[in-house]
Structure 1
Amino acid sequence: MSFDQTQQQRTQLFLNALSDQGTVDELGTGNIRDLISNVLFPGHTVLHTRAKYLLFLPRDFSRLASKTVDALVDEGKKAEGRRIKTLRQRYEAEGLRNRGIIGYTTGSETKQLPSGSYWGLLRQLGVYRGTGSLWDYYRDLATHNAALAQRSILHSEEDDEQRAPSGLWAEYPNESPKYDGFSLSPDEAQWLQERFLDSDDSPEEERSLTTWLLEKGGKDSDREWISGLAYVWEHPLTDQFPARTAEVMWLGCDVDQLLFGARILYNYLCAHHRPDKGEAREALLDRYKNAMSEWRSEIDKDPPRPTLLTELDQWGQGRLGTIQASPAARLRWRTTLHFAQRWQQLVTSSADLLVDPNAHEHIAYRERTLKPGRARLAKPYDRLQGWGGDSGYSRLDYNWSPAARILDDIHLGLGTPRVEVVREDAAATEVNA
C-alpha cells in the first residue's frame, strides 16, 4: 500500500493506541487525546524513545544496496538488527532498561522496529525527503539500485558510502566516535534543532510546543531547559507559550481531569465484577476506591467549568475540518463528546459515583458499544477472570513524555543550561545543572 502523509499519520496514531499499554483506550476517548497531542507535539508518538534514531535511520538506510524490494526489506531489517546489537553492547555494563533501545530484548524480531516508529517523523522533519511510506522508499531504492547496476558492474567506494538517490535524504552530519550510543555531538544536536524549527511553518501563536521548547537551545541560551517535568503544563513559563497552542494545552489538561474519573470508575467496576474473589480483588477495589476519593476531592475543589465540553467541541470540530477528517472520524467525535457530556452531568449530580447505578450503566454501555462481544463489563463477566487491573488507567500527558526525552537529548547535545526536577514522594525539587 502507498499512503499519503495524512493517511500515514492517522494509521500511526491508531497503531500507537494498540501498541502501548499506557494509551489503552477502553472508553473511546483516544480521538480527543490524539487531536490535542498532534497540536502540542506533532509527529511524536508513544513509540519514540531517543533523538538519535533520527540520525541512525538515514545513516543506515541510505547505504542499502540490494536491487529488489524483498531483498531491501531483509537488508534493512538486518541493518536495524546490527544497530540494536551495537546499542546493547554500548549500554550492557550500565544496564539496558530505560535506555530507550528499541528491541533490546528481541533484537530485529521486535514487532515495531525503529524504522516503522520514526518514519512519519523523519518525513515531517524533512530528514527523509520522499513522499511515501517505508515501503515506497524500498520500491524507489530498488529501482535506483537496479539502474545503477545496469550502468556498470563496477562502482566507486563513494557510491558504496551513499547508495540512496541524493534527493531522498537531507544531508546529515558525519558520525563522531566521541559521541557514541545515544549521545549527540553539538553538530548533530544543532542539525536536529534546525530540522524541528524549519518544519514548523505555523503562525507564531500556533507553533508547536516542541518548536517553542527548542528555539532558544544552546550553551549561551537565557532560557533553561527544564528536565523531569511530569506534564508540560508544569513548566514555569507556560504564560510565554504560543497563545493558541497554550489554549489547547490547558483545554487538554482540564478535559483529562474530568475524564480521569471515568477511567477510575471503569477499573473499579472491573474489579467489582471480577468473578474470582480473594485478596487480589480486594486490593484492587481498595486501590480504585482511594483513587476515586482523591479525584473527587480535586474535582470538588476545582470543578470543571460548565462550558468546558462546549469549548472542546468547538475546537475539535475546527481541527477535524483543518485535517479534512473523514465522516467516520466526525461521527466518532460526536459520540465521544456525548459520552463526555453525560459523564459531566453525572459528576455534577451524583453524590457517590461508586454506588450510582446510572454512572455504572453509562460506563458499561460505552464499553459494550465500542467492543460488542468483547466488553469486560458484560454478564457473565467471564472476561474479568484473573483481571490484573489498570486498564487504560493513567493520566494523559498528550505525548509529552516521548517528546520530552527527545528534547532532552537535543538540549544535552547543544549544551543548553538545564534545571533537573527531581521527584521524591510526589514532591518536586529543582537542581541546577
Structure 2
Amino acid sequence: MNDPAAGPSLAEFEAARLVVADVVDTTPMESSRYLSEVLGAEVWLKCENLQRTGSYKIRGAYNRLSHLSAEARSHGVVAASAGNHAQGVAFAARELGMRATIFMPVGVALPKLSATRDYGADVMLHGHTVDVTLRAAAEFAAETGGEFIHPFDHPDVVAGQGTLGLEILDQVPEVDTIIVPIGGGGLISGVASAVKQRAEVLGREVHIIGVQAANAAAYPQSLINGEPTEIVISPTIADGIAVAKPGTLNFEIIRDMVDEVITVDEDDIAKALLVLLERAKLVVEPAGAVGVAAILAGKVQPRGVTVAILSGGNIDPLIMERIVSHGLAASERYLKLRIPLPDRPGQLARTAEIVAESNANVVEVLHTRHGSGLQISEVELELHIETRGPEHAELVLHNLRENGFHPRVDF
C-alpha cells in the first residue's frame, strides 16, 4: 500500500472523531437479507441518510470549521453546494457561532434550500451547475475575506469524512468490502485512508470500492490519465455526486488506496431507490444509493462481509415520485403500451378484459385517432399498466398477442 503523504494520518482521523462527536450521531448499521441474496455475501447498510442534516457531510464540515482560527471565524465562512454540503456547513457554523454564506444552484430542490436557511445561513442562488456555483462562492470569499469551505478537497474535510470509516470498523469489525459513493472524492478518500490505515494496524485487509454515476464519472478517466481530469457531465438523477473534476488531494488518496471504481447508469440508480424503499424501508437520495445500485447491477464481486454506505437521504418528494415511477418502469412493473386497434366498437373493452384476465391493473388510458402511422380505419390505445415484474409483464404481452393484438412497449 502506498502512503499518500498529503492525506491525514490515523492519529488525525482519531482526533477528528473526538471533534465531530459533539454533533454527529452514530448512525445505524442495518443488515439486508435481500441484498445478501443478490450479492451472494453478507450485506450491511450504513445509514448516513439518517445522520443529522440528512447526510455524512456534517462530519467533514464540522471538523473543518472547528480548526479555524479565531480571526478566520470572525470573517465567517463561505461554501457552495447543491444541498448536503450546504446543510453541513450551515449547521456547523451555527453550532460554532459563525456566520455562513452559502451559494446554491438556481434550481436547487426546495427542501434543501429551506433546510439550509433554517440552519441560519445566508443563501445566494447562482448558476445552474455546482461547478459554476463553486466558482462564484470562491470569488465571493476572496472579495469579503470569508473562509471558503471546499466540499471535499481539504485535509480537515477528508479527516472528518474518514470518521465514518472508523465507525464502520467498530460496528462491523469483520467487514471485508466497503462500497462508497464518489463525487469529488471527499467521502471515499477519508473512508479508504482511515480504514486502510486501521486495517494495517490490525493485520487485515479491507477492499474499498468506489461508485460513480455513469453520467458524471470523472474518476475512471482521471485514473487512466494519472491526474485529475475534468469531464463534461450529462444530466443525472444523482446530482449529489455530479462533480466534473476530482479534488487534487482526494485523487491522490483514491489512486493509492481505493481498489476499484465502477459506474452505474440511471436505471440502476432508480431501481436501487425502489429496493431501499420496499425492502429496507429507507428513504435515500439517488447519490446515496449508488452502492446498492452497483450490487443490484451485478458489478460487485462477493468478497466476504460487505458494507454499502447510504451517504444521504435529502431528496425532494417530487423528485422521489418521478424516480420511483422510473424505477417501476425499469423493473418492468409499470408498462406503457401502445396498441393499434380497428376503429370499431368493443375493441377497448376487449383489450381491458384481457389485461384484467392477466391479473394486471390499468392505471391510465388514452384512446386517440391521431397517432402517427395510423390508417384511417385505425385508432391507437395507450395503456399504462401495473404488473408484478418481468414475468408478469411478459404474460400480459403474450395474452394480448394471442388474442390478435400487437402491443408495443413504449419506453
TM-score, structure 1 as length reference? 0.24
Which structure would you say has the larger RCO, counting Cα contacts within 8 Å and 6 or more residues apart? Answer: 1
| Higher share in helix | 1
TM-score by length of 2: 0.25
